[in-house]
Amino acid sequence: MITLTERAAKEVRRIIDEQRLSGTTVLRVGVKGGGCSGFSYTLGFDDKIAETDQVAEIGDVKVACDPKSFLYLSGTQIDFEESLMGRGFKFGNPNAAKSCGCGESFSV
């Protein structure tokens, strides 16, 4: 399962509301090849959930992940951080053997 912290769920909901996205909008989480460590995280919004997607509901936010990405993201917790150095989503991925300094890519 992929989870969101309360801060992350609140930020996702804020973005959905601000952009006036539909009530069926889900947060789509995935991975793609690339980045300085081998794989990069992807985040986006989607209105479709495939039958094969892994789906979790955190509060009023649905998170969907395709089966291939889920192999690398199972157990991941997504947080949202805001500091003087910047703001953004952070991935706590127990499957990552190493991550790059920015935290946007990883290897297994």
- Residue-by-residue pLDDT tens, the chain, 108 positions: 999 999 999 999 999 999 999 989 999 999 998 766 678 889 999 999 999 999 999 989 999 999 999 999 999 999 999 988 789 999 999 988 766 555 555 667
Q: Tell me, what DSSP letter sits at residue 105?
A: E
74 alpha-carbon distance from chain centroid: 11
pTM: 0.86
What pLDDT does 98 receive? 62
Q: How would DSSP label each residue in 45-98?
A: EES---TT-EEEEETTEEEEE-HHHHHHHTT-EEEEEEETTEEEEEEE-TT-SE
Q: The tokens of 82 are what?
A: 């805001």
Q: The tokens of 12 are what?
A: 């996702």
What pLDDT does 39 receive? 83
Nearest to 45 by CA among 26, 24, 69: 26
What pLDDT does 35 receive? 61
User: Which CATH superfamily does the domain covering 3-101 fall into?
Assistant: HesB-like domain (2.60.300.12)
Segments making up each domain of the chain, as ranges: 3-101
What pLDDT does 33 receive? 82
What pLDDT does 103 receive? 53
Per-residue pLDDT reduced to its tens digit, 86-96: 899 999 999 88
